[in-house]
Structure 1
Amino acid sequence: MDQKIKFHKYQGAGNDFILIDNRDKVLNNISNALVKHLCDRRFGIGADGLMLLQNTNELDFEMVYFNSDGREGSMCGNGGRCIVAFARDLGIIKDKTVFLAVDGEHYATIQREQVKLGMTDVNEIQKDGEAYVLHTGSPHYVTKANNLTQLDVYQQGYAIRNNSTYRQDGINVNFVEKEGAGYFLRTFERGVENETYACGTGATAVAMAMAIEEDLNGPLEIPIRALGGQLYVSFEKNGQRFTNVILKGPANFVYEGFIAISL
């Protein structure tokens, strides 16, 4: 039996997502195969991930996020910013919100296309050789690169994500290069298993790693340019403790439509 489902497409710095208003439980038992089909860029709608906006007690809404490989994912920063814009466009919120995600509560403010999203505090950063390893809602590996525009991010990112250390749980692999007052970032994302145009938790991880690399402390805002647009990460840094973490960047409506799915 086929059912037509309404969807919306949003993108944040080129990180694109399918969003479905699931407050009325139009999708109850979503399967890995269905998510993979919807996210497929040839046979479905096409996206880096799928999000359901659902009701939750006490907070404005719940964000349920799936990677394009079909599995439910960890926190997605750009996805979080896009679902805030979606909630605003649905009339659920106005210019601020507190919502539930897989890693807990998040607050956000929105002004036109710019969304500021509160991210989780980080208290521990490890090293793997010269690289930094940390968890900003999702696990990240951060390594510096030279001539990043020419780097084969897929090949090198795939090799790190699938090495003996990270193969089982996976990790997002970020390559970063100094650029003016900020940094240029390219990311191989687990769950997508390819390079994406931006990664919000990756930008957050890179900003923190580079603050440690340059021994910066206090209140900081660090510009991070991804392939798909400009992001900004701010926080209070005290040693290796990061608090008041905010990811800022654009979140844009792209289009809406209906797709027939088999239930």
Structure 2
Amino acid sequence: MKLKFYKYQGAGNDFVMIDDRENSFPISTALIKRLCDRHFGIGADGLILLQNDEEHDFRMIYFNSDGNESTMCGNGGRCIIRFAKDLDAASDRMTFNAIDGLHHGVVDDKIIRLQMIDINEVEDHDHYLFMNTGSPHHVEFVDNLTSLNVVEIGRNIRNGAPYFEQGSNVNFVQVMEDNSLLIRTYERGVEDETLACGTGITAAAISAFVKKKVDTNNIQVKAIGGDLSVNFEENNHNFVNVWLNGPAEKVFEGEIEI
């Protein structure tokens, strides 16, 4: 059987995109893991299905590169907005369902804007913050991000207390003089550092605001794979109208035998 696929990337986060509006994709952990394999497959941080939704433009189903269905992926969400527009499955403004609920998306030329879920609880600990921005995120602020062993330290935190088997994504953030952030992220499910993580970038921006490390709610964030921004409104320690903004584009398309 030949499978038609598309490859998209947002800030270096890359995804195998499948138009599954006919519900024909044979979901299996082994198949998804092979398709995401960078040596024996297409290669990607994850695989995303675009499916029909009865009430909204479409539904997003996201799988990590380990083949397991996962929580929300911010850059994946931005990529599926671009994908839906390219397929003529949605207009420049759209709504879609994902595992964490309803999202709004906007295509503004090369900038793709994704409205994230509201964040109503932020755990502010001595040395880190924790919140769920659609996926769980541990955020630590550091002074010298470039020299940090993100994979080793991130893996230990991801598997250690208090996260254990459920795990958490782990973000290391450096605040710059201009109120912008530098970020590096260890992603669970990928089990490695990725070039960017949308839900992690969202968590980092809110964490910097909570810790009063920035004096704005419109924050520029630089990841290894590219530059994004996060803007939000804060209302009595609740964060609403949260948007993740940045480019997302098609890399290539093709067919693969499965």
TM-score range, shorter chain: over 0.9
Are 1:201 and 2:234 an aligned pair?
no
Q: Which one of 53, 56, 60 corresponds to residue 53 of structure 2?
A: 56
Instruction: Tell me the residue number matched to 2:69.
Output: 72
Percent identical residues: 51
Amino acid at match of 1:71: N
One of 139, 143, 147 as aligned partner of 2:144: 147
Q: 2:92 aligns with which of 87, 95, 100?
A: 95
| TM-score (normalizing by structure 1) | 0.95
Give 2:187's aligned residue.
Answer: 189
Q: Aligned equivalents of 1:12 and 1:34: distance in 2?
A: 23
- Whether 1:39 aligns to 2:46 is no
Distance in 1 between residues matched to 2:55 and 2:94, nearest whole Å: 12
Superposition RMSD in Å: 1.3
Question: CA-to-partner distance for each residue in 1:70-107, whole Å, 9 max, x for gaps?
Answer: 11010000000000000000011121100010111100
Identify the range of structure 1 (183-192 vs 106-115) with the bigger mean alpha-carbon deviation.
106-115
What corresponds to 1:258 in structure 2? Answer: 255
Aligned equivalents of 1:136, 1:25: Cα separation in 2: 28
Structure 2 counterpart SS, 1:33: helix
Q: CA–CA distance in 2 between the matches of 1:72 and 1:103?
A: 12
Q: 1:174 and 1:215, CA in 2 relative to 1: closer, same or farther beyond 3 A? A: closer
Distance 1:215 1:17 in 2: 33
Q: Which deviates the most, 109-118 or 75-84?
A: 109-118
Question: Which residues of structure 2 form unaligned runs of 5+?
Answer: none
Using the alignment, how far apart are the partners of 1:138 and 1:189 within structure 2?
10
The residue type paired with residue 33 of structure 2 is K
- CA separation of 1:216/1:147 partners in 2, compared to 1, >3 Å: closer, same or farther? closer
Which of residues 6, 12, 15 is equivalent to 1:14? 12
Count of matched residue positions in the alignment of Structure 1 and Structure 2: 257
Is 1:223–2:217 an aligned residue pair? no
Query: Aligned partners of 1:167 and 1:69: how far apart in 2?
Result: 18
Structure 1 segments of 4 or more deviating over 4 A? none
Q: Which residue of 1 aligns with 2:161?
A: 164
Q: Distance in 1 between matches of 2:241 and 2:208?
A: 17
In the aligned structure 1, how far is the partner of 2:212 from the partner of 2:179? 12
Amino acid at match of 1:177: Q
SS in 2 for 1:150: coil
Matched, 1:120 2:117: yes
Give the CA deviation at 1:14: 0.2
Q: Shift of the alpha carbon at 1:145?
A: 1.2
Shift of 1:146: 1.8
Note the C-alpha offset of 1:177.
0.1
- Structure 1 window deviating more from structure 2 (179-188 vs 35-44): it is 179-188
